[in-house]
Chains A and B, each alone.
Chain A
């Protein structure tokens, strides 16, 4: 991006980016320490097979495995301490065909992931751990849906613990009959189940100026996909009756930020869901338990968690988030407001930053594509920095406003390459390059605003197989 000046970000943004770089660096240091041959491609090119329990602890990515497990005689204790979050430690039989496994339902009736799986979200290191965010490890995910425990988070006032037996949703304002609904009430209504992604409009905010974070978890990890179940807002609207002059709806959460956003009534009636289900079970507390507003394709901040109130009005309420925060400052000093839709985007998750290919040969490039305006129509992949594009294979049937996994067979000849993916959605919109975006929004706009970066991502592959974040 040599033609682009290198302006400073706003002070606070500068600091945040510095902290983010530091956090990712700490995470990578930790990971490398646990993997003697790192950096390497997680899972796909595993380290030599562990020969004993101690070696396994290194490979499993445990946080303090190395030091603790080395203490002779405390291996069992160390194993417990170092079991990855969300897993339980179990004895590993030398030959699982020669002894009985664990007793059925011995886990108390709710399962856990394998103790050999250690991927986690990592938190943006704000000094204040209540107003912060955590990123989904896209580089280690397979398929399309995000495991509920790995869904990215953005909180402005911590994660409230809410008793569903006392939680109420109030619907009022320009309605015929203001009503309140308990969770039991809401679950009596006919429900819908839809798969949708949620993406924070700040996803990629570090990448406007220069390649900054090293991994796809850092550059794109504010993206997750779940199957959501709940009541369409339209059903509730019919229940309370809407006044003719209703045009906007204020949604309010019951966290310490009492988060509020104004949403066009048209959008609410089109496809908004009052969701209590996520991936087949109750929505996770970090995702808004017991009730979250799902606004398919709109920026993540608007999907109000811990939803307690919907007020119908005739004008936007001009809350703090929709005026001073989630607005996009342009070069001319004017800011775009109500930039709700998340536009078509894609990213290669393998190979991606910090991985290392073991040598020339065949690789199945894979990644995710999505659009807030509808279905993904096609994805193209380039291995020469965008000079040549080839159609990628879509691994499932595209669904509206949902990620889709794509793949592309690549015979790497061992020479340096730049890998890119490009999404086209069903409206005909083509994912832009960073230069195209900046040409439209101005060279200081992005740096003043940071939001809505949906540009093509480039991963550089060196002759030695190392993969790095590059601008190309």
Chain B
């Protein structure tokens, strides 16, 4: 009897103290599930913030970009980069619209609205062309970015785009954004 009680008492003590005690005495609580992600595994991912970190090696020009554009982009974005070349095709307009943002008919394009050229590279490499996302080589992406920026008169037609020059491109609407000011205090009781 005594032994059984002692055992039960010990069991209760164990249940009461050990889980909390064990955690409290451990410096960093980790479950340890999952596995280390190796640099090799992570190398297939990319994300390119405005400072250009993550831009890959390679380069491109507007001249080469015109060819890439004609082959991979015209169908949806139009041969004049005007977007929606025909009814039912919904690619965005890419150039024009500067000076319209404060009017009653704002036109939002890469030229008039996008604040960072790096975003254009990231998005094309990520999700374009629509029919074969992620299929362009890095040189082709640099080239078609150069072509769009050149057609938008943001860079010179002869400029070369690479990991250094792209991050330096000054977009017209770079300062066109402000952080969310909400909540709008007028709407509180």
Contact = CB atoms under 8 A, between A and B. Distances in A.
Contacts of B130: 128, 130-131, 157
Interface in B43-93: 45, 47-51, 83-84, 87-90, 92-93
A237 to B, nearest CB: 11
Size band of the interface chain B makes with A: 35 or more
B29 A238 contact: yes
Nearest to A171: B37
Pick from A185, A319, A427, A430 the residue with the most CB of B within 10 Å: A319
B107 A10 contact: yes
Nearest to B127: A257
Interface in A282-338: 309, 311, 313, 315-320, 323-324, 327, 329, 331-338
B177 interface: yes
Contacts of A389: none
A239 interface: yes
B34 interface: yes
A429 B187 contact: yes
Interface in B159-189: 176-184, 186-189
B133 interface: yes
Given A170-B42, A444-B104, A178 B36 contact: yes
Contact of A315 (B49, B104, B114, B186): B49
Contacts of A334: 176-178
B105 interface: yes
Interface string A2-14: 0001011011100
B31 interface: yes
6 contacts: A12-B90, A172-B42, A179-B35, A320-B119, A427-B183, A444-B102
Interface of A: 5, 7-8, 10-12, 15, 126-128, 130-131, 156-157, 170-172, 177-182, 185-186, 188-189, 235, 238-239, 241, 250, 252, 256-258, 260, 309, 311, 313, 315-320, 323-324, 327, 329, 331-341, 343, 373, 424, 427-430, 432, 436, 440, 443-444, 447-448
Given A172-B42, A316-B49, A428-B188, 9 more contacts: A128-B89, A181-B33, A188-B33, A239-B31, A241-B28, A260-B47, A320-B119, A427-B183, A432-B187
